[in-house]
Structure 1
Amino acid sequence: MGPSAIWGYRLAFFGLSSAILFFALLPFGPPEDGVPGPDLLVCLAFAWILRRPDYVPVWLLVPILLLADALLMRPLGLWTLVTLLGSEYLRRRVDHTEVKTFWSEVAAVAAVIAGMFVINHLAMLLLLAQTAPLLDQGLHLLATVVFYPLTAIFSQLIGVRRLAPGELDTLGTRA
């Protein structure tokens, strides 16, 4: 796969992230007492990072996450940092030589997302910031975990797949 295809996927990631942010800003969100929606940006980033880490470099992910923090009126940089830590943990776990089942991937991502929510909540408590009720945060966590498999399947359908053993990634390393 040539450099133009990799840049095409990076552009696709940017476009999908922009679409997610656009729809998140539209005023048809959940009602006051409704179930909060999933964090599709986290789902998309994790699905792509676990399949092709070279498609979502840190220099592309961080500005998108910071923009999401600003547009969604979250504490600027906190969720970005937590998501970056989670994504880098998953990026280090990518092993192209070992075949893992889809559900073991989902379980690993669910554990990382749960850890991210706990770290975010504890940081907000330490900063004495106002936090959402735990039930709402738990429902948001559950919705994000439930939507991860759908996002991973969607990513696979648009061509973001794992490297087969013997293929080279963009850095020239063997899978």
Structure 2
Amino acid sequence: MTELGRGSRGGILAYLAIAALLTAASLLPLNTVPRPWAAPDILLAVTAAWAARRPDTLPVLAVAGVFLMADFLFQRPPGLFTALVLGLTEWLRSRAPALRRGSFPAEWAAVGAGIVAVALLNRVVLDLAMTPQAPLGLTLIQILLTVALYPLIAGLAQIAFGLHRPAQGEVDNLGHRL
């Protein structure tokens, strides 16, 4: 596939298509027997990879729409997880120049810290609101698997969509610095 350009509609559409596919796959009743472990949040990892690597192709409204729809479909309190993910993407967007200069382990650590913060803040707020939720062990397993899956997701995004970290001084087709 081609490389994603600055603010390109292709990048936005690719993100929205991936988000729709992941959301639909999560809703499919593939197994009705409860598992003793929680699956990783692949949508969160994909969004974090997109925000860390190409924040110029990830508009805030796209992230808000995707996660608000996911809140409704997954029967989560509407807006809480969305707001936390928006905070994560904006934090990653502000750190994009530093992430560009750093190594992949530094990017992985930053994204991992953000995923941990989002999950734990979500849990704390739900605890304060006395909302029933999954046991802490399942939440920790989901966090661990999501962070561990990030390198695979970042690699697949780079191979399939050209979603790489822009090099210093790199410009898009219109001459804008990335």
Please give the TM-score of this superposition, normalised by the length of structure 1.
0.90
Q: Verify the 8 A CA contact 1:17 1:41 in the aligned structure 2.
A: yes
Q: Verify the 8 A CA contact 2:4 2:10 in the aligned structure 1.
A: no
When residues 31 and 142 of structure 1 are mapped into structure 2, their CA distance, relative to the original with a 3 A threshold, is: farther
CA distance in 1, matches of 2:99, 2:109: 19
CA distance in 2, matches of 1:30, 1:169: 47
CA distance in 1, matches of 2:33, 2:47: 27
CA distance in 2, matches of 1:108, 1:96: 10
Deviations 1:78-104 (A, max 9, x none): 111111111111111110695211111
Alignment-derived partner of residue 13 in structure 2: 11
1:25 shift after superposition? 0.3
- The AA in structure 2 aligned to 1:127 is A
Q: Verify the 8 A CA contact 2:4 2:57 in the aligned structure 1.
A: no
Q: Verify the 8 A CA contact 2:119 2:143 in the aligned structure 1.
A: yes
- The AA in structure 1 aligned to 2:55 is P
When residues 134 and 96 of structure 1 are mapped into structure 2, their CA distance, relative to the original with a 3 A threshold, is: closer
The match for 2:41 among 39, 42, 47 is 39
Correspondence 1:168 to 2:168:
no
CA distance in 1, matches of 2:115, 2:4: 32
Matches within 5 A, 1:8-157: 8-29=10-31, 31-95=33-97, 98-157=100-159
When residues 150 and 31 of structure 1 are mapped into structure 2, their CA distance, relative to the original with a 3 A threshold, is: farther
When residues 92 and 171 of structure 1 are mapped into structure 2, their CA distance, relative to the original with a 3 A threshold, is: farther
- For this pair of structures, how many residues does the alignment match? 175
Deviations 1:134-162 (A, max 9, x none): 00110111111111111111111121112
CA distance in 1, matches of 2:88, 2:33: 29
Unaligned runs of 5+ in 2: none
Please give the TM-score of this superposition, normalised by the length of structure 2.
0.89
Q: Verify the 8 A CA contact 1:51 1:163 in the aligned structure 2.
A: yes
Unaligned runs of 5+ in 1: none
CA distance in 1, matches of 2:107, 2:168: 18
Q: Verify the 8 A CA contact 2:100 2:165 in the aligned structure 1.
A: no
CA distance in 2, matches of 1:3, 1:152: 17
1:35 shift after superposition? 1.2
Give me the identity figure in percent.
34
CA distance in 2, matches of 1:149, 1:74: 27
